[in-house]
Every structure is written in structure tokens, then in C-alpha cells.
Structure 1
């Protein structure tokens, strides 16, 4: 069993992993904070700077296209999606949230690569600010843990 006490690797040891990060620029103050927290956590967990690829795209709907390009390279143990969608007065929030979320999930399944989805979907800016650092760190940990899990069961 993964993580059992039989000399199996620490599920949060990132030393030998290559991680790709795709960050949306829309709501950039939030997404920069997500990235900074995520990047710092990856480094703290042992991922080497040279093994982190960071790509920026215009918005959450463009994140899956860049994730797919990275997945097709087959150079990454895990990928991370960073973005922020804040509810407005129109249906656009639901469209962007639903389509970006389903595309990220579909890519993970199609390419069998773990993708930590940290595209925030919040009612307002205050909720986004309250979540930006925690979700950035969470995304790093999820990516590393899932990379090890898929390696172990694959």
C-alpha cells in the first residue's frame, strides 16, 4: 500500500519530480499569490527550481489548452492549474467555472497525469483573497502526492 511503513517514499517528497504550472493572468493579484504560495511549497517539499515549468495564459478558459500542451510533452510528473473566477452579474461565471473545471478533469483522465486544480471559484474578491495562499500550497501538495500515487499504482 502506498505510504505504508515498508520503506516506501514520503508521498510529499518532491525531490525527483518535474512539475508544470499554468497560471491565468485574469485576476492577477490573486493568481500571483496562488503561484507564489504554490511555488514556495514545491520548493519546500524538495522540487528543484529547474524542474518547475511556469506558463502564464490570459484566463481560466485558456488554462486547459496550455495544460494539454504540457501533458503532450510527457515531461511532467504532475501539473497544476492556477486561476481565479469571481462571480459577476452574468452567466459568464458559470460558463468559465464549469468549462475550465471539466476540461482540467478531462485532461487528467485523457493523459493520465495528475492535475491539481487550484482555479478558485468565489462569490467575491474577499473570498478569493482568503483562499489564495492556502489553495496555492494545497495545489503543490496534491500534485506531489498524486504523482507518487500514480507512479506507485502504475
Structure 2
């Protein structure tokens, strides 16, 4: 067992019960092959956890920098129990990678805190395409699980 897997919840754990949850997903289109795979894995896992298809909203934006603004728009609706950010930033030869990675991550965190809505951040930041491909399915599934677990946690705290 890898260290990262320790503490993972079994799909039968009540904290992963998605029934009656409403989940919003914002997907960046940049690096579309990767983000489409992230979205497909995420949606499949949400359905497997019991989230109804009608309770999953997917919106697309041009790139990772636009994700926080779309998350804010969804959060303002007050109808989502959790949100998910999907994107892929692959390091290039310029400082642009750091700018996009840092600013998108900070924006996602700010929206979560400002609106008190859990956001699973699955905006991949990788050194190359191969790393992104290797992570696309697992991170999509992980994002679904994080969103459901955190939605249930916040509900239990209120």
C-alpha cells in the first residue's frame, strides 16, 4: 500500500454517500484530452457514489485561470453541496506555469472559504504530458470522492 492511499475510505463508508447531493463541476478546456478524461472519471465516480445525474452540473471554461470565476458563479447559486475544479497545467519553458498554477489554486481556495462550500481541486500541475496522462483517471475519481466526503462533513457540522 502506498502512503497516499492510507486513510482512503471504502466506497461503502457513509461519508461517501452521494444521494441527495448536488455537485457543480468546472472544467478547463485547455489540454482538453486530459481534462475530458478527468471529467469523465469524476462524473462516473459521482454516479457510483449515488449522486443523481440530474444533480451534476458541468460547465467549461477556457483554462485554469478562468476556473475560480466560474466556481464563484456556481457558489453564488447556493444550490450546490460541493464543487469540483478540473484542469491541467503542464510546465513549459516560461514562468507562465507558476503564475497559472499559483493563481488558479489561490482562487479556488478563496472561493471555498468565501462561500463556505467545499471545492475539490483537481487542477493537475505536472512537469509533462506523460505525468498528466498517468494521473487523469485517479485524480478525477479522487475529486468526486473529496467533494462528496466534504459535502457530508460540512452538513454534519451545521
TM-score by length of 1: 0.94
The equivalent of 1:16 in structure 2 is: 20
Separation in structure 1 between the aligned mates of residue 120 and residue 105 of structure 2, nearest angstrom: 11
* CA RMSD, Structure 1 to Structure 2 (Å): 0.7
The equivalent of 2:8 in structure 1 is: none
The equivalent of 1:70 in structure 2 is: 74
Choose which of 128, 134, 138 in structure 1 pairs with 2:132.
128
Separation in structure 2 between the aligned mates of residue 54 and residue 153 of structure 1, nearest angstrom: 27
Alignment: residue pair count: 146
Q: Secondary structure at the match of 2:14?
A: coil
State the 1:56 CA deviation. Answer: 0.3
State the 1:36 CA deviation. Answer: 0.3
Alignment of 1:137 with 2:151, yes or no, is no
Could you tell me which runs of 5 or more consecutive residues in structure 2 were left unpaired when the two chains were aligned: 1-12
Choose which of 98, 110, 115 in structure 2 pairs with 1:111.
115
Alignment of 1:59 with 2:66, yes or no, is no
TM-score by length of 2: 0.92
Separation in structure 2 between the aligned mates of residue 56 and residue 153 of structure 1, nearest angstrom: 31
Poorly superposed stretches of 4+, deviation over 3 Å:
none
Separation in structure 1 between the aligned mates of residue 119 and residue 104 of structure 2, nearest angstrom: 13
The superposition leaves residues 94-141 of structure 1 with CA deviations (integer Å, 9 ceiling, x where unpaired) of 000000000000110000000000000000000000000000000000
The equivalent of 2:88 in structure 1 is: 84
Q: Secondary structure at the match of 1:11?
A: helix
The equivalent of 1:5 in structure 2 is: none
Separation in structure 1 between the aligned mates of residue 124 and residue 98 of structure 2, nearest angstrom: 12
